[in-house]
Amino acid sequence: MHPTDTRERSIHDAGMDDVPAIARVLGRAFYDDPLYRWFFPDDETRMARSIRINALLAGFVHVPAGQAEVLRVREGDRSVVRGAALWTPPGADAQGVASLLRSLPHWPGLVGPRRVPRIMRYFAQLNPPAPKEPHWHLAVLGTDPSVQGTGVGTRLLRSGLDRADAEGVPVSLETMNPDNIGYYERHGFHVFHVLEGPEIPTTHFMLRPAS
């Protein structure tokens, strides 16, 4: 899709009916992401499993709690979800432990029983660097590959950042893709911690101070 695409777009709070579309969009968006390649090394099954894991994340925690937004694009006579952002508000569990616990029974079937303990240890390491002060946490931001480069992700990101600015609180996120660092830096984030190890994806923790 050309970056000058001008089709009608609108951002909405996500409902449970949006969960399948959110899962498809995020599954497609993160197919080549280092984290998802680590989760699901097999290229042939990664897409289906990525969609499933995002359905768990959206459906168990973020959508029921009202912490998800979707961007819809008018395509002919249809309004299609082409981007999604999953957020956690100040004072809540920024690293998604509640989601992890609810989804735990599904993980052996997704990654294999032997890999579950290693992945759980990795998730445990995501907690300590989180900012101590109240903040918004961007859990996931992704756009369908068909609209990447057309501003869909930026509109979703700005929607959340404007909300944080109105509340006067910082925003945190993690990215395992080094290509994303410059993008987030342009929106006021900086890397404040890096988690590295021989058997885990390198994880960059980023923070955008309160404005």
Query: Phi, psi (5° rounding) for residue 92?
Result: -100, -175
Its sign, for the CA torsion 55, 81, 205, 130, is negative
CATH 1.20.58.220 fits 9-151, yes or no: no
Per-residue pLDDT of the chain (211 residues; tens, 9 = 90+): 444 565 788 999 999 999 999 999 999 999 999 999 999 999 999 999 999 999 999 998 899 887 899 999 998 889 999 999 999 999 876 445 666 677 778 889 999 999 999 998 898 888 777 788 899 999 999 999 999 889 999 999 999 999 999 999 999 999 999 999 999 999 999 999 999 988 899 999 999 999 8
pLDDT given at position 2: 45
pLDDT given at position 95: 47
User: What are the DSSP calls for 67-82, one per residue?
Assistant: -EEEEEEEETTEEEEE
* Other C-beta atoms lying within 10 Å of the C-beta of residue 142: 23
